[in-house]
Structure 1
Amino acid sequence: MFVTTTAALTAPAHDDATAVVAELRDRTEILDALYRFGLGQDLKDKDLFASAFAEDAELDFRPAAAKWGGAPPVMAGRDTIVTTILGLFTGRVDTTHQITNPRIAIDGDTARLTALVEAQHLLTADHSTYALLKNPYDVELIRQDGGRWVIRRLTIHNTWYTGEPTAVFG
């Protein structure tokens, strides 16, 4: 579920520097997929947000929503994820996402990423109505043609929240 390896890199330091550089590049690109996810939402930038996902991606917000009694469906497909989330937020909810504590495990052209994401959601018309969420993310990624990493499956859990998530998420 979450990446709990006891070392950051798998390529030994005494190996060919090319292997170390390749792994560092992969790790940077893997993390960038999650950054595109967060910033794409915050800027309501459809292209940036969509660039984070594989065409057949799935986003599962059920574990987080269960904390306040929500029961959303799993979103399947990049277009559905982008349309649903940006449709729910654009013009109605202001968001900011802060991503910390990333842990990455790479296995060829697949990877897992664990990160802690603080997501602030404020109703645009009334910032006193908000939901501040502290969410562990469990992310499965794939390498696409050209070496770019994208999210195949994202499961969002919740450690705690404040505010009124039902007012923000429905």
Structure 2
Amino acid sequence: MDADRQARIDALLDRQDIVDCLTRFSRGMDRFDRNLFLSAFHDDATVAAGSFVGAPDALYAWASALHEGGQVATHHNLLNMTIDIDGDSAHAETYYLFVGRNRDESNWIAGGRYLDRLERRDGQWKIVLRTNMIEWSGLVPTLPLPFGDIPDLHANGAPARDASDPSYLRPLVNRRTPHIPQ
């Protein structure tokens, strides 16, 4: 394999490792999985998000209490990403869309960008500095959740904000009865 191709493959692997790191943050927050959330950060990282500025473990405690108190479900969706890698350092800009189903049945939506500085240490890419650029937010009209009248809707597992969520099940299996709507 020529050197240019190998360099491109190495760059793609680094980029994917960074994308996986950023995804662990979002999934860890939405599933209230502290270990997964913290695995996105180096121990000496700093995060600036809204009124919070501090270490990742303190961020998790603050944000999980905020989300637990205010919402029954949250989705931290990652969108467009730009990742600039320079050796063992990288900078990423990630557009995000946050959606929360509030306890009062309203829906909160917000968008912005995560600006991250990451470092590869001991072969692992993790965040060392995150700044959250909140650019807009609003409330979305509430509608009933779809398909609520299907008797076996949660036979494969019900959405949960912990390790009982079906996304943790291995292997994932279907327990629902075959049915093709007419």
Range of TM-score over shorter length: 0.7 to 0.9
- What residue in structure 2 maps to residue 131 of structure 1? 108
Count of residue pairs the alignment pairs up: 138
- What residue in structure 2 maps to residue 6 of structure 1? none
| Matched ranges for 1:5-84 at <5 A | 15-62=3-50, 72-74=51-53, 76-84=54-62
Q: TM-score, normalised by structure 2?
A: 0.69
The amino acid of 2:112's aligned partner reads N
- What residue in structure 2 maps to residue 67 of structure 1? none
Secondary structure at 2:52 match in 1: coil
- CA distance in 2 between counterparts of 1:144 and 1:95 reads 31
Deviation of 1:163 after TM superposition, in Å, equals 2.4
User: Alpha carbon RMSD of aligned pairs, Å?
Assistant: 1.8
Deviation of 1:90 after TM superposition, in Å, equals 3.0
Q: Deviations over 1:85-132 (max 9, x none)?
A: 223223642210111110000111110001110001222x3221x421
Deviation of 1:33 after TM superposition, in Å, equals 1.3
- What residue in structure 2 maps to residue 168 of structure 1? none
- CA distance in 2 between counterparts of 1:159 and 1:78 reads 22
Q: Deviations over 1:39-64 (max 9, x none)?
A: 111111111111111111111123xx
Unaligned runs of 5+ in 1: 1-13, 63-71, 165-170
Secondary structure at 1:158 match in 2: strand
Write 1 or 2 for the structure with the bigger share of helix: 1
Moved more, 155-164 or 109-118: 155-164
- CA distance in 2 between counterparts of 1:131 and 1:91 reads 14
Unaligned runs of 5+ in 2: 141-182
- CA distance in 2 between counterparts of 1:127 and 1:53 reads 33
- What residue in structure 2 maps to residue 100 of structure 1? 79
The amino acid of 2:62's aligned partner reads T
Between the aligned residues of both structures, percent identity stands at 32
Which one has the largest radius of gyration? 2
The amino acid of 2:87's aligned partner reads G
Q: TM-score, normalised by structure 1?
A: 0.74
Q: Which has the higher contact order (CA 8 A, sep 6+)?
A: 1
- What residue in structure 2 maps to residue 156 of structure 1? 132
Q: Displaced runs of 4+ in structure 1, greater than 3 A?
A: none
- CA distance in 1 between counterparts of 2:33 and 2:52 reads 23
